Amino acid sequence: MDHDSAQTPPRRPFRWAGLILPVLILLALVAGVVANPALRSLFADALGRIDPRAVAVTLPVQLVAILVCTAAQQALKVGIPFRSSFIARITRDAGHNLLIFPPGLGEAIGARVVVLLGGRGRSAVALRVLDVAAEVIGEIPYMVLAGTVLWGWWHRGGPVQTGPVQTGSVQGGGHVALWLLGAVIVVVLGWRLWRGSDHHLRWRASRMGRRVMAEIHLMKRELKRQRTGMPLAIVLHIIGWGLSGVQVWLAAKVMGVELPLFGALAIESAATSARVILFFVPGGLGMQEAGAVFAGLAVGIEPATALAFSLVLRLRDVCFGVALLWWPWLEYRRGSARRG
């Protein structure tokens, strides 16, 4: 047997190790909903309130939001034309919203599509890093809005007593949030312990570790080149996030719900903020919905209706998910060109 191959550790277990925590979290969320009659009733009620026209009215506004986010990508010097950048963006969004396993697959798809459309590999990775950073920074004003609304609601007297179904749902969501907070603490502590371990030092000294550190150095240079467009990208992402609130407002009008634009922004901000903060939850499943329910209570919307708004946004994402087909088609085209 070859000595080097005998010393090489198996790789397959490490490929799947990153899925363990997200799968456990997802199973815990599903079990929590199934085991809680109040949550089951709430979801059934919310599904019954969805109007297909409410989904349809969000689609053109979401298209404008994607165009705005594409302009944010272009501000980061992606290196491809706007049309190609739009394809990369809409494909990335589709993968991010639909392909929740493994975590981060949407970002990987977005970087890959940039390369398939003529961008450079390291530039595509740097683009995704900076674009995600710009998105998160652009969400901060809406996080503040959601936090202010929720804090004011809680300070005025705590959860609204709207009946046994809604109260049980709020309590169930609180228990899930505590479990997720504990999981975050465990992951952070584990990471810090590993960083200070001898194993980490040996890895840095290995050939693979040196190659990774060299690549990080080159990536920092690419990030420095692209980040000059960050201010404009952040402003454009702020506009893009605001358009999501407009979609909730339009959906409420179609569903016959009296909801001012401020309330719609608060609901969407809380839903998206929960998804951004708890990014390790696959697809933000349950987190987006919990944020919408809490914010709905804060602005006077009953939980089933607020949950229906969140599900409308999920259905909107499913409609735009057809854009994911661009990825295999581009891979096929690249392969055909090579064979030719």
Contact 326, 62 (CB under 8 A): no
> Residue 45 has which token pair?
């009620």
| Choice between 195 and 219, residue whose per-residue pLDDT is larger | 195
Q: What is the pLDDT of residue 105?
A: 83
> What is the pLDDT averaged over residues 173-178?
50
26-30, 238-242, 321-325: which range is least confident on average? 26-30
- CA end-to-end span of the chain: 40
Residues sharing a CB contact under 8 Å with residue 297, sequence separation 6 or more, in sequence order? 153, 159, 160, 162, 166, 170, 303, 306
> What is the pLDDT averaged over residues 266-291?
83
| pLDDT surpasses 60 at 5 | no
225: confidence class by pLDDT, cuts 50, 70, 90? low
> Residue 148 has which token pair?
């202010």
> What is the pLDDT averaged over residues 86-99?
91
Q: What is the pLDDT of residue 165?
A: 37
Q: Residue-wise over 120-138: b if at least 16 C-beta within 10 A, else e?
A: eebbbbbbbbbbebbbeeb
Amino acid letter, residue 12 = R
Q: What is the mean pLDDT of the chain?
A: 78
Contact 119, 107 (CB under 8 A): no
pTM (2 decimals)? 0.73
The Cα–Cα gap between 6 and 2 comes to 6
How many CB atoms within 10 Å of residue 220? 11
Q: What is the pLDDT of residue 224?
A: 64
| pLDDT surpasses 70 at 259 | yes
Whose tokens are 């006077």? That residue is: 300
